[in-house]
Amino acid sequence: MSQKKFANSHPHHHPHHHSCSFCLLNRIWRRKFLLLSIVLIFLIITITITNSRLNVFSSLFSPSYKFQYNQQQHQRQHLAASNKDNGDTFNNNNDDKMNLRNHQHLKADNYMSNSYNNDNDNIRRQSVVYIHPPGDEQQNKAYIPKNRFIHLDLKGAPPKVEYLQQLFPLLRQAGANGILLEYEDTFPYAGELLRHAVADNAYSLSEIEDIKRLAKENGLEIIPLVQTLGHLEFFLKLEHYRHLREMDEFPQAICPSRNDTYELLTNMIDQMLIAHPDSKWLHIGCDEVYQIGICDRCKHKERDELFLNHVKRIATYIKEKYNVTSIIWDDMLRQFSPDFVKSYDLDKIGVEIMIWTYVDDIYRFIPTQNWMFYAETFPKIWGASAFKGAFGETLTVPNIKMHLDNNIAWLKALDEQESSFKEIRGLVITGWQRYDHLATLCELLPSGLPSLVIDLLTATNGKYESKLLEKFHQLMNCPHQLDYTYNTMGARLFTQYPTFSHLINCDFPGSKVFRLMQEFENINKRVDDYLYDVTKHKAWLTDYNFRHNITSPWRIREGLQDYANVMYGLKSLVKMAITALGEIYDEYTVYEWIEEKLYPQLLRMEKFYNQTIKIQELRVWPRRPIKPAVDLQRFIDKINKEE
């Protein structure tokens, strides 16, 4: 601030008094030697920060900092939860279990819902990412996984085959050579044992033939996935299969000590492998089995024993009958004794593990001792990263940077671990549709596509480099070159890469849905802001006003001024959702999304409007004091009693 400006900003005009601190300060300020010292000190501080702390400093102000910080917090919670997670202490550790469950496959949800979902800048923060290109600096060596598979989680919202027809060529062009296909309730299981488990909107067998053909045409090998121990909510939730639950309260895990369990599972496997006769692998799930060793038949056995016996039995069946190799998720093994796991000789029946983590610090979840244990026990492994469905249960668009960081970290880890294993099969980039079968939808496949494509390009290139953006831009069919703005901040480059506003102009399969998500964030915020303004911020249309029929008629009119506009936006969004989602999903999924995201806002708007109609008719208003709501007394009595 200049002296002149400072003087001009003096709050009052008067001759200088000694008692006026403002004037005193002004006089001091005028002393040149002091000014020079201040400038010098400032310069020294600036140079110090620029040289040594720049990255820390700038990252503090970048959106990703908050994510990373929260992520670490979350991971700590997870670790704490897993440590407590031994023995059948389920009832005592309910909170920890819940924590762990929420966490799985969906890494870092708490902070997303707490700090982000309500954030005004939600979309902007999720999508504007500042990528410091690690490919150009940190990771010089490329590691290209042999198999680069995309996980298609179809549970409870199967995309139309026509959409997959557009999607598969894009996956091929971005370097994918396979798909991990998780049908869950969208596979048309037949027969008395399984037909009850099938969703009404499951694929038909002929649609599955189409999917297989399209995959083949695009050089995509299919690995089907059939859960065989945990995450069997899709049928265990039904009365028909209730008796198979390990714990009646939780329709998540099946009891591995019943013969009818095996009858049902082998029937499922048979149908899946008959539909996929060319598959070399079958993924049999086995992740996140929280209820194990609990039922009367199982409670006298050890959890690790129950788990490993089950895996061995299922994998042996698959090997002997179909000569197909089983893959399991690795997370349950992390808690078991390595020697005990080794004693099961799962490698002799070819069992491969798929090691998954969706964070950017692979070794935090899979520490070196786990890698050593895996290397001694499983000669062939897979890695699994994520492109969506990992950082917030109700997100609309994935955070591209966080997912890219995770994929980059995986390439580095696989490179480091390669010499320890006979073979690293490849990397599967997962994309979860729901956090589990009983949850609502997370990011839809089309809105996760930009994230998927950049992750895939990175894996195919073996490392991230800014040159990939050009290819990305071309594949996403964007109308003009993305503006690669490099901000030179000290020694490092920060790339502003791809922002939401860039991508909404691109034309990729499902880009209408991507645009819908941005429109949703805008309109949703507009509704929230409007209702907040009229019912909370202003004092004439609050719940209290409605309850006691006291308001200013003039203010009602004022409050309703924007109503029609906001409502119009919301209604247009419903139309837009029907069109955009309808191109990709059946009406069940279209309506599920609308009901979940837009219907609550429609209801809130309607309720507000109806209340104003009622209160508008008033021509007389109550005399003060106004009696408190009768119902309030109920709470006060209850609170008093509790004391």
**Can you tell me the distance from the alpha carbon of 565 to that of 551, in angstroms, rounded to the nearest whole number?**
23
Cα-flanking dihedrals φ and ψ of residue 282, to 5°? -130, 125
298 binds Zn ion (CB under 5 A): yes
Residue 298 CB, nearest approach to Zn ion (Å) = 3
Q: How many whole angstroms separate alpha carbon 91 and alpha carbon 568?
A: 49
Q: How many CA atoms lie within 13 A of 68 on its CB side?
A: 14
- Taking a C-beta distance cutoff of 8 angstroms, is the pair 527, 566 a contact? yes
Q: Which one of 126-134, 139-147, 242-250, 350-358 is the stretch in contact with Zn ion (CB under 5 A)?
A: 242-250
Query: Total residues at the site for Zn ion (CB under 5 A)?
Result: 6
Q: Cβ of residue 198: shortest distance to Zn ion, in angstroms? A: 25
| Smaller CB separation from Zn ion, 199 or 311 | 311
- Name the one range near Zn ion by CB under 5 A: 49-57, 140-148, 244-252, 604-612: 244-252
For residues 406 and 431, give the distance between their C-alpha atoms in angstroms, rounded to a whole number. Answer: 13
- For residues 587 and 451, give the distance between their C-alpha atoms in angstroms, rounded to a whole number: 26
What is the rounded distance in angstroms from the CA atom of residue 124 to the CA atom of residue 116? 11
295 lies in the binding site for Zn ion (CB under 5 A): yes
Q: Which of 172, 166, 63, 163 is nearest to 499 (CA)?
A: 63
* 460: Cα separation from own chain's centroid: 23
Residue 254 contacts Zn ion per CB under 5 A = no
Q: What angle do CA 510, 226, 371 make, to 5 degrees?
A: 95
Stretch of 293-301, 461-469, 581-589, 591-599 contacting Zn ion, by CB under 5 A = 293-301
Minimum CB distance to Zn ion smaller for 167 or for 289: 289
Closest distance of CB 246 from Zn ion, Å: 5
Q: How far apart are CB 260 and Zn ion at their closest, in Å?
A: 12
Closest CB 130 distance from Zn ion, rounded Å: 50
Complex with Zn ion: residue 314 or 476, whichever CB lies closer:
314
Q: Interacting stretch for Zn ion, rule CB under 5 A, among 199-207, 243-251, 352-360, 625-633?
A: 243-251
Piece of 8-16, 233-241, 287-295, 381-389 that binds Zn ion (CB under 5 A): 287-295
Yes or no: say if 50 and 385 are a contact pair by the CB < 8 Å rule.
no
Q: Which of 218, 257, 261, 451 binds Zn ion (CB under 5 A)?
A: 257
According to CB under 5 A, which residues from 321 to 380 bind Zn ion? none
User: Is position 232 an interface residue for Zn ion (rule: CB under 5 A)?
Assistant: no
Q: How far apart are CA 155 and CA 592, in angstroms?
A: 13
Q: How far is the CB of 257 from Zn ion (least distance, A)?
A: 4
Q: At what angle do helices 449-461 and 400-417 cross, to 10 degrees?
A: 30
Taking the CB of residue 19, how many other CB atoms lie within 10 A of it?
7
Strands 178-182 and 221-225: parallel
Q: Which is nearer to Zn ion, 223 or 255 (CB)?
A: 255
Q: How far is the CB of 300 from Zn ion (least distance, A)?
A: 10
For 583-595, the DSSP string reads TTB-HHHHHHHHH
List the x/- string, 580-619, binding to Zn ion by CB under 5 A.
Answer: ----------------------------------------
Catalytic residue among 184, 288, 393, 443: 288
Q: How far apart are CA 316 and CA 323, in angstroms?
A: 9
Interaction of residue 306 with Zn ion, rule CB under 5 A:
no
Interface pick for Zn ion out of 174, 180, 194, 255 (rule CB under 5 A)? 255
Annotated catalytic residue 288: yes
Binding site for Zn ion (CB under 5 A): 246, 255, 257, 295, 297-298
> Any idea which residues carry the catalytic annotation?
288
